[in-house]
Amino acid sequence: MSESNIKNTEKEIIDEFELFNDWIGKYEYIIELGKKLPLIDENLKNENYEVKGCQSKVWINADYKDGYLFFKADSDALITKGIISLLIRVLSGNKPDEILNADMNFINEIGLKEHLSPNRANGLNAMISKMKNFAMVYSNQNVN
């Protein structure tokens, strides 16, 4: 059921972005979303939680509760915060296996990637990998 949760949220985001017909609107919306990001604890802003491969600093942490993963994050750049908040909205509150299987196709659908520099696109992939790594850790725990 939760797999469709992810898909539903992706669909929601795609619909929201369809309201904007230019990149400025999309960026302004992303920046707004960044302001609502569930923030990571200040003391976790260290190397263990840092996402490598971003030009801006990004930290992500996951809490595991009753079989579900909940992400928190922060960045020193606003647009980056907005992008993570989209990722968190899609992935947070789902089971590790569902997170691992998410194809995150909404990123292409909302036309975000064409407005990201290759550098930033690398950073985006690094953020997704970091989140999936958390999912992998807890997914293995379930097996044991």
Partner 1 sequence: MNIDIVNENISFDVYKLRKEFPLLDQQINGCPLVYFDNAATNQKPLSVINSIREYYETINSNVHRGIHTLSERATEAYENSREKVREFISASGSNEIIFVRGTTEAVNLAASTYGMQFINEGDEIIVSAMEHHSNLVPWQNLTSRKKALLKFIPITDNGELVMDEFKSMLNEKVKFISVVYVSNTLGTINPVKEIISAAHSYNIPVFIDAAQASPHIKIDVKELDCDFLAFSGHKTYGPTGIGILYAKEKYLDLMPPYQFGGEMIKNVSYEHTEYNNLPFKFEAGTPNISGAVSLASAIDFINEKGLLNIARHESDLLKYAENRMNEIEGMNIIGNAKNKTGVISFIINGIHPYDTGSILDNLGIAVRTGFHCTQPLIEQRYNLPGTVRISFAVYNTVEEIDRFIDGLHKVKKMLS
Closer to partner 1 by Cβ: residue 76 or 103: 76
- Smallest distance from partner 1 to CB 22, Å: 9
- Residue whose CB is less far from partner 1, 15 or 76: 76
Catalytic residue among 51, 54, 88, 91: 54
Taking a C-beta distance cutoff of 8 angstroms, is the pair 86, 73 a contact?
no
In one-letter notation, the amino acid at residue 132 is K
Binding site for partner 1 (CB under 8 A): 23-24, 27-28, 31, 55-57, 76-80, 115-117, 120
Q: How far is the CB of 34 from partner 1 (least distance, A)?
A: 10
Cβ nearer to partner 1, comparing 59 with 138: 59
To the query of whether residue 54 is one of the catalytic residues in this protein, the response is yes
Residues assigned a catalytic role? 54
